[in-house]
Structure 1
Amino acid sequence: MKRPLPALILKESTLALRSPLLWALALVTVAGRIVTTWKEMPDWSGETVNTATSALVIGAGAMLAGNLAILRDARSDAVELTEALPVRPQTRTLAVLVAYPLAGVLVAAPAMGIQLGSLLIGSRPTGHVDVRELVTGLLLVALMGALGVAAGCWIPGLIAAPIGIVLFFWTLVQFPSTWLLPVVPELKLAIDPVRPPGWHLLYVAALFLLAGSVALLRHGRRPVPVITAVSGAAAVVVAGALTLNSPAAKAAAQVGDLRQSTRSATAGAEHCRELNTTRYCAFPAYAAWIPLWQGAVDPVVAAVPEASRDRLPGIVQRAATGVLDPAVTGGNILTTTSWGRNGAERASRRTLAAQMAAAAGGLPWGTQRGGGPQGCDARGQARTIVALWLIGQVEQPVAATTKRTSIRTDDGGQSALEVPRSDLGSVDYGEAELGYAKQLLAQPAARERIWEHWAVLTAPTTTVDQALPLLGLGRSNASAEPKGTPCE
């Protein structure tokens, strides 16, 4: 055989693509990612990084499969059999070194494509796709395959690859923002993650070259492997230095400052639009979601008398961390960097609509806590019915619940509280108020009655019993006494 290497690569590649490890882990990765992301509207800036990071699981399969393949020569009586072959050991190693990383990439590429494709279903994505991040994910799989081969060459035992996988994942957990790792998980910021994908891609490629060279050095210090190893090590140093010193990496290193409590949670929400009397302000990368917010808010605003609409708050996006600026929160409803899809958008719509409904009805909304940390109770108040009716213009209102939470006491201890959780936020209400609101939603003339008596119905002192004649409703349920601090 004049050209044994291509034939060996083809054979090893066929064996690699038949590996149940690769396909099983690819299936687990795809299924897990689809399930965990199915209900969340995607942000491409983060999801491309998350998809590349998920390739670690497939890379683990390539690492184990490559390690098992290279260990064939170390099995009992294998040396006597392989010595009779017309190819040198380094040729067989090179074939495995090419085949298993390549097979890992061929399995990972469609798996990543399916993950990204699933994000388009029922979706209005925001952010930007960076192909360099995805290529880095594929190179990561190849790198792990090469590391499995290198470990098998130097440590002839089955324990090396599993330990290497554990160490690989451990470093990601312990040093999540270190750019000298092969993959850096997404930095959970409200804006596009600041990353150096170009230089980091070269860095991972250099690591792959170095890992392959180390595997081939096991067969002796021949000129080509030595030169390749030295070149690979130099490339790792240079690419690592370029990555660490790139402007993007330096900016990303300041992520701790961006997460400090002194930073405003709404800083950067500078893309603003006024639509139908309501002002919406989003982080620039999330501007595509403004129509989604408008779809939740507009029906509520339209159900408020025109004379009262100018007093309604605007919508401002906030990050998950940071302090709340009173200058912003005082006249605005805050929305997050999450929005549902594939059925979960109904909860997102209800949450945003409920805050506008609470504001329109004069109840505490958003960051306001009418009853302190415990929230407040709006049982028996006519405006509760009005607010629930306003929510019903978007989604059907549901019963209030409670959530057990802890607050810090004056003496530094912790105290457990039952805090209300409802469509209206930390405002509690009863079945009577909810029932009357549903009756109003079934009456075509309800809007005219509510608008005619708006000032009276939204006054904090107006009771449910006083409101029923104005709303054209009969007394079918008695309102319960407030269980907590009444809403003011």
Structure 2
Amino acid sequence: MTGNSVPSRDRVAEKLVARRGRSMLALGRLEARLAVRHPVTIVAVLSFVGLCVYALLIGGANSYPVLQDEDRWIQYPVMVLLGGAALVVGNLAVLRGHRHGTTAAQGVLVLPVPWRVGAHLLAVLLFGGLATVLVLIWAVVMSAAPGAAGRMNPYELMSGPMVVVLLGALGVLLGQLFRSLFVAPLTLLGLAVATGAYSSPDAPGNPWLGWFLPVAAQRDPMPLPTHLLARPAAWHLGYLAGVLVLVIVAALFRAGGRRVGAAAVVGLLLAVGGGVGQVTAPGDEVVADRILASRDPARQQTCVAVDQVRYCVFPDFVAWVDGWDAVLRAVLLRVPPAEARRPMAVRQRVWAHGYLHGGSVVTPRQQQLRAATWRAGDLAAGTPNTVTVGTRWGEGEYELGLAALVAYEVLAREGAGVFGTLCGARAVLVGWLAGQASPGAATALREMQARNVEGAHLGEPSFGSGVTLPAQELALVVSLLDRPVEVVAAAVLRSWAELSRIDTVTGRAGEILGVPVPSAPADAGCLA
């Protein structure tokens, strides 16, 4: 009998564990149903969907998404909205007995406290699944956009749902540690503020410290081609998984669970290993590629010829060539055919190494040196008459900037890197050619006039290159945009030789184009 008693006790223990496991799963399903119907969850999901729909509907650069940026951008709203809901709802579920004064009565429940905490942790998985579905829908929609460039990183995409589960588990742990309803919202606020502040390129401190936040901020001033990113997204996902395991272990241990040593070791290994891996500096090859892309992009680019124009781009951005070409053709359509047929190139540039942070001032001398470097590289690549584009593109300001650079290149044939104030008839000509290139460009020009009383800068926003139109010339250009395009275009073609001369003043341009304006003294700082 003694020999049979031990196996009997083992069988009883196994049945008890199995019964408690089934009860924990049932309670977890109940908590999940309660969580999904909670007002905080509903508001969070609707807010997230509304934010995504708004981002799609406002157009502009969102019509031309850079996918390697989108998979990181989405992580912050996922953390704040969906992760915040998981944090708060999970915390409220644990504090339910405290809030309703039934904590003492819970002692008579059959299911022990660690198993009940396990049920709360299982319910958190619902938020992770919900976040995964919403993130994948967003990824499919953005990738299907006609102007989408680059590609998404699956490790980046899954970091958002992992953060949601992590915050939900953290809410359960905080409910075990603090009997307060304010701890969870304050924790979310602190994480949101820290992550948002650290996402700026101008944020102080070591940039690698940001990788220890739930969402790893990117501190580049502009989108980079995928081969220049070298983001340790897989390591960060492993780090998040390790922290999640440690939070779960802490919650179970606080509830009275004791058989968590092995899980704690696994979580610690994942967190330490991922943490070390994610702060390892990029390899020498990546750094060399970034320097080369910034100084001599032609060696990393592919060129697409459209008639007499060559578009030289990083491979990720070939999909934007059609958009650039549409704007360029709209400008060339309004210039004399002999000028329109001359060879030209559009080269994409990126600032991947040695960029200046906010508050830094770029002097005219620095602009001249950069322009000389760009032009020397373009000449060596066989594209001397080059217009610059960056790694952002969209309707409005970006169309206007490209159109203005194309128009100025038609007049001056100087090549990349133009910087300065353009005055007189040439300013009017460049401004009108740029504004009429598309409805978005015209709208952007009118908005610039409304915002700036001293004029407007037209060019590539990422580099500051371009031309500035003084207020008088800008006002004349906006007046011309209100007139029929064909009427103005006919006058431009008839008087192209005079309008394109450096010494033709603004008043004379107004007379030629039928919009008289008072003459103004020449600005000594104007481009020759």
What SS is found at the alignment partner of 1:83? helix
Q: 1:478 to 1:236 in 2, by over 3 A?
A: closer
Contact 1:339/1:348, CA 8 A, preserved across alignment: yes
The farther-off stretch of 427-436 and 262-271 is 262-271
Matches within 5 A, 1:177-216: 177-178=208-209, 179-188=211-220, 189-192=223-226, 193-216=229-252
What SS is found at the alignment partner of 1:425? strand
Separation (CA, whole Å) in 2 of partners of 1:60 and 1:127: 30
Separation (CA, whole Å) in 1 of partners of 2:386 and 2:116: 67
What SS is found at the alignment partner of 1:333? strand
User: How far off its partner does 1:23 sit?
Assistant: 2.4
1:333 corresponds to which letter in structure 2?
V
User: How far off its partner does 1:282 sit?
Assistant: 2.0
User: How far off its partner does 1:462 sit?
Assistant: 4.3
Separation (CA, whole Å) in 2 of partners of 1:259 and 1:403: 36
Q: 1:468 to 1:207 in 2, by over 3 A?
A: closer
1:327 aligns with 2:361: no
User: How far off its partner does 1:300 sit?
Assistant: 2.2
Separation (CA, whole Å) in 2 of partners of 1:167 and 1:445: 57
1:368 aligns with 2:407: no
Contact 1:109/1:138, CA 8 A, preserved across alignment: yes
What SS is found at the alignment partner of 2:387? strand
Separation (CA, whole Å) in 1 of partners of 2:429 and 2:406: 12
1:308 aligns with 2:354: no
What SS is found at the alignment partner of 1:124? coil
Map of 1:14 onto structure 2: 33
User: How far off its partner does 1:96 sit?
Assistant: 0.4
User: How far off its partner does 1:350 sit?
Assistant: 2.9
1:95 aligns with 2:131: no
TM-score between the two structures when normalised by the length of structure 2:
0.73
Contact 1:30/1:114, CA 8 A, preserved across alignment: no
Q: How many pairs does the alignment contain?
A: 454
User: How far off its partner does 1:278 sit?
Assistant: 1.8
Q: 1:461 to 1:156 in 2, by over 3 A?
A: closer
TM-score between the two structures when normalised by the length of structure 1:
0.78
1:481 aligns with 2:520: yes
Matches within 5 A, 1:36-47: 36=55, 38=58, 39-40=60-61, 41-47=64-70
What SS is found at the alignment partner of 2:108? coil
What SS is found at the alignment partner of 1:177? helix
Q: 1:268 to 1:11 in 2, by over 3 A?
A: farther
Q: 1:51 to 1:463 in 2, by over 3 A?
A: closer
Contact 1:177/1:185, CA 8 A, preserved across alignment: no
Contact 1:209/1:232, CA 8 A, preserved across alignment: yes
Q: Of the candidates 419, 423, 443, which is equivalent to residue 377 of structure 1?
A: 423
Contact 1:364/1:427, CA 8 A, preserved across alignment: no
The farther-off stretch of 283-292 and 184-193 is 184-193
1:395 corresponds to which letter in structure 2?
S
Separation (CA, whole Å) in 1 of partners of 2:265 and 2:183: 24
Separation (CA, whole Å) in 1 of partners of 2:515 and 2:240: 70
Unaligned runs of 5+ in 1: 405-416
Map of 1:410 onto structure 2: none
1:190 corresponds to which letter in structure 2?
L
Map of 1:23 onto structure 2: 42
Separation (CA, whole Å) in 2 of partners of 1:217 and 1:95: 14
Map of 1:151 onto structure 2: 174
User: How far off its partner does 1:274 sit?
Assistant: 2.7
Unaligned runs of 5+ in 2: 1-15, 199-205, 357-365, 377-384, 460-465
1:459 corresponds to which letter in structure 2?
R
User: How far off its partner does 1:333 sit?
Assistant: 1.9
User: How far off its partner does 1:138 sit?
Assistant: 0.6
1:66 corresponds to which letter in structure 2?
G
1:106 aligns with 2:140: no
Q: Of the candidates 289, 292, 311, which is equivalent to residue 323 of structure 2?
A: 292
Q: 1:229 to 1:252 in 2, by over 3 A?
A: farther
Map of 1:412 onto structure 2: none
Matches within 5 A, 1:61-72: 61-72=85-96
Q: 1:222 to 1:275 in 2, by over 3 A?
A: same
Q: 1:155 to 1:434 in 2, by over 3 A?
A: closer
What SS is found at the alignment partner of 1:280? strand
Contact 2:507/2:520, CA 8 A, preserved across alignment: no
Identical aligned pairs, as a percentage?
25
Separation (CA, whole Å) in 1 of partners of 2:428 and 2:482: 9
Separation (CA, whole Å) in 2 of partners of 1:95 and 1:72: 14
Matches within 5 A, 1:40-439: 40=61, 41-57=64-80, 58-75=82-99, 77-99=101-123, 101-116=124-139, 119=142, 123-172=146-195, 173-174=197-198, 177-178=208-209, 179-188=211-220, 189-192=223-226, 193-220=229-256, 222-223=258-259, 225-245=260-280, 250-251=282-283, 264=295, 270-309=301-340, 313-319=344-350, 321=355, 324-329=370-375, 331-340=385-394, 345-362=395-412, 367-370=417-420, 375-378=421-424, 381=425, 383-384=426-427, 386-388=429-431, 390-391=433-434, 394-395=437-438, 401=449, 418-421=454-457, 425-428=467-470, 429=473, 431-432=475-476, 435=479
